[in-house]
Amino acid sequence: MIKINNLTKKFTGVKGIFDVNLQLEKGNIYGLLGPNASGKSTLIKSIVGVYLPTKGTIEVDNESKRDIRKTKISYMPDMLDFPNTKLIDIVNLHNNLLEDFSKVRLDQLLAQFNIDLSLKFKTLSKGQKMAFRLSLALAREVDYYILDEPLSGIDPVIRKMIITEIITSIDTTDKVLIISSHELNEIDLLIDYAILIKNGGVEGVYDIDEIRSETNLFDWYVDKFGSTV
Amino acid sequence: MIKLRKDKVAYIQIGIHILKRISSGDLLKDEPIGTIRSLSKDYVVTTKTIQKAVDYLESKKAIDRKQSLGIFVSVSMAEANEILREHALALTREYIKDLESIGYQDQATNLIKGVKNND
């Protein structure tokens, strides 16, 4: 379980997150939803240990040490570039540095995405770059995965493939997945709960089935945020 | 496998789809329908959604969960048909209620005929 207690992260002159409390339980996939600059990425970066909290604690399996969180969580950042590097070298680096890295799973993922390891990162299309970065994150055998905007800025066919691979490559029965996204029409079958972030705080955590028994995620979201976007 | 509607709860749509597979003879009584994990891959939905679909089918006594062996069909084609019929009746009752709420009493049959003839 990930337990976030009274988490605040302040920046000088920039918005942050304020007094966030959340409990994320194994077996669930959470969608982190909210307008741009609402605090989604700040929350993610605080959970994975990129940012030090101004206040509050983050526990993963009852451990709050930042280093332990980094080893327990596989994190796909929203931006990551590997200039002039061959994919095979990036993969070998991950394989050597991370004990939980599964080369077998990575190869399966890259085969699905039709990505050849002899290529250089900079020669990949935007969608392939995303698929490659996602594959690196999903190839780790851990209990916690946080994917920051895995569907953003890529064409619909690759988005569909990415959703399929997230579902099929890892058994989430006893894992926690957190996925931030604006692609509400596509993420709705991928998540069990929607966490709404608004003005640097958690507006609420909603069961996707309660939303779908009334309407669809897209309309529900626009209703919720219509006046603030 | 099926196109899921976005404005309806996913697990019931999946549960109904499995019932249709049983009632059509595609899945036979005592046959395995897979595991939570394999069904999650088949339908490309979360394992939690499949768990709910399986709970739903279990509540209708249409399947049996056998520890570590998987999930098995526990009804015949005819019994699956009967469960689907009950579901169809429930949908029809909802529909009639909706019609009544806008002042259309006892007109469901005529309305359906009218729509069908126009198509």
Residue A151 sits at the vertex; the CA angle it makes with A147 and A153, to the nearest 5 degrees, is: 125
Any idea what the CATH number is for the domain that residue B20 is in? 1.10.10.10
CB contact under 8 A, B45 and A173: no
Q: Is B41 on the interface with A (CB under 8 A)?
A: yes
Domain ranges of chain A: 2-75+142-225
pLDDT tens figures, A107-164:
999 999 999 999 999 999 999 999 999 999 999 999 999 999 999 989 999 999 999 9
Maximum distance among all Cα pairs of chain A, rounded to whole angstroms: 49
Which residues span the domain enclosing B108?
A: 10-118
CB contact under 8 A, A212 and B8: yes
pLDDT tens figures, A62-80:
998 988 888 999 999 988 7
Q: Global pTM?
A: 0.90
Q: Is A188 on the interface with B (CB under 8 A)?
A: yes
pLDDT tens figures, A2-11:
999 999 999 8
pLDDT tens figures, A173-227:
999 999 999 999 889 999 999 999 999 999 999 999 999 988 999 999 999 887 6
CB contact under 8 A, B41 and A29: no
Q: Which DSSP state fits B69?
A: T
Intra-chain end-to-end CA distance of chain B, in Å: 27
What architecture is domain A2-75+142-225? 3-Layer(aba) Sandwich (3.40)
Full DSSP string of chain A: -EEEEEEEE--SSS--EEEEEEEE-TTEEEEEE--TTSSHHHHHHHHHTSSPPSEEEEEETTB--HHHHHHHEEEE-S----TT-BHHHHHHHHHHH-TTB-HHHHHHHHHHHT--TTSBGGGS-HHHHHHHHHHHHHTB--SEEEEESTTTTS-HHHHHHHHHHHHHHS-GGG-EEEEE-S-HHHHTTT-SEEEEEETTEEEEEEEHHHHHTTS-HHHHHHHHHTTT-
Q: What is the pLDDT of residue B69?
A: 82
Q: What is the pLDDT of residue A229?
A: 47
Q: Is residue B3 part of a domain?
A: no
Burial class of residue A145 in the structure, from the number of CB atoms within 10 Å of its CB (0-12 exposed, 13-18 middle, 19+ buried): buried
How many Å apart are CA A101 and CA A111, to the nearest integer?
17
Residues contacting B90, CB < 8 A, separation 6+: none
Q: What is the pLDDT of residue B110?
A: 87
Chain A contacts of B6, Cβ < 8 Å? 185, 188, 212, 216-218
The nearest CA of chain A is from the CA of B60 a distance in Å of: 19
Residue identified by tokens 């998540």 is: A191
> How much is the CA Rg of chain B, to the nearest whole Å?
17
How many structural domains does chain B have?
1
Q: Is B52 on the interface with A (CB under 8 A)?
A: yes
- For A184, which residue in chain B has the nearest alpha carbon? B6
Q: How many CB atoms lie under 10 A from the CB of residue B70?
A: 17
Q: Which residues of chain B have a pLDDT value below 70?
A: 119
In a mutational test of the B interface, the residue from A108, A161, A168, A174 whose CB has the highest number of chain B CBs within 10 Å is A168
Half-sphere exposure of A162 (CA within 13 A, CB side): 28
In a mutational test of the A interface, the residue from B44, B50, B52, B71 whose CB has the highest number of chain A CBs within 10 Å is B44
Chain B contacts of A216, Cβ < 8 Å? 6-7
Partner-chain residue, chosen from B7, B41, B48, that has the shortest CB–CB distance to A216: B7
ipTM: 0.87
